[in-house]
Chains A and B, each alone.
Chain A
Amino acid sequence: MKERRLTLALMDPPYESANSTTALRIISAALEKGIDVNVFAYEGAVCLPLKEQVPHANPVKGTTVEEEQHPTTKEFIASLLAIGKDKLTWINCGLCVDERGATNVVEGVKRGSPADFFKMASESANTLVIPTK
């Protein structure tokens, strides 16, 4: 039996789909259970850990940045990497990064290729591919 390791392939860019939130919840729950997690971020998903993301105020509600507490995906990913330590591997597809100029990412995110995804999937108990619609 393969060790308890889960691989996820993500494709949605940040703030586009509830898929991203669900994926982050799955990663968090798996890490809490001591399960090793691999993430291969493909296409727009390589922007999930972009460092330039900043929280914003909400002029419709009249709230300030501090009151709004707008969550950014980079903060979620940075937290998961800090919690997971060596149990979470996050690889951004290099070609997708170059296409988007998405090089400035939070610490711990690595650069790789679909060959890494194949290797991660081969070593995992299961692989969950979460495509865009």
Chain B
Amino acid sequence: MSSYVFIESRDPFESRDTQFLEETAIAVKERGHNVTVFLVQNGVLAARKTAPRLGRLAEAGVTLLADDLSLRERGIKSDELAPSIHESGIDALVDAVVQENTKAIWH
């Protein structure tokens, strides 16, 4: 089993291809791999509970992390996050990508 870390930097309201990342992450998860999606930069706009964009990922069992600095820069508070999203520091991303058998994909 491998682990996959998808780093989503794009705003889902601006970039329709964020859907491609979502579908890829779910497909990889369905094949039995560990999958994490790390939201950063404008990617965190999808993390708000008022803009539920990531429900399918959560239902598939994908771990969803949102970069704390990106959230603060955009005025998004912790209690505004969808329940399946965990606020995280960039060090958690570093920890994830240096693990053995892990593939990291930036989008």
Contacts and interface: CB of A to CB of B under 8 A. Distances in A.
B40 interface: yes
B1 interface: no
A33 B41 contact: no
B9 interface: yes
Interface string B42-82: 10000000000000000000000001010000000000000
A110 interface: no
Contacts of B69: 25
Majority secondary structure of chain A interface residues (helix, strand, loop or mixed): mixed
B34 interface: no
A32 B98 CA distance: 14
A125 B90 contact: no
A22 B98 contact: no
Interface residues of B, number: 22
A6 B99 CA distance: 10
Contacts of B94: 6, 26, 29-30, 33, 35
20 contacts: A6-B97, A18-B9, A18-B41, A18-B42, A19-B9, A22-B9, A22-B41, A26-B93, A26-B94, A29-B90, A29-B94, A30-B94, A33-B91, A33-B94, A35-B94, A125-B102, A126-B98, A128-B97, A128-B106, A130-B106
Interface of B: 7, 9-10, 40-42, 67, 69, 89-91, 93-95, 97-100, 102-104, 106
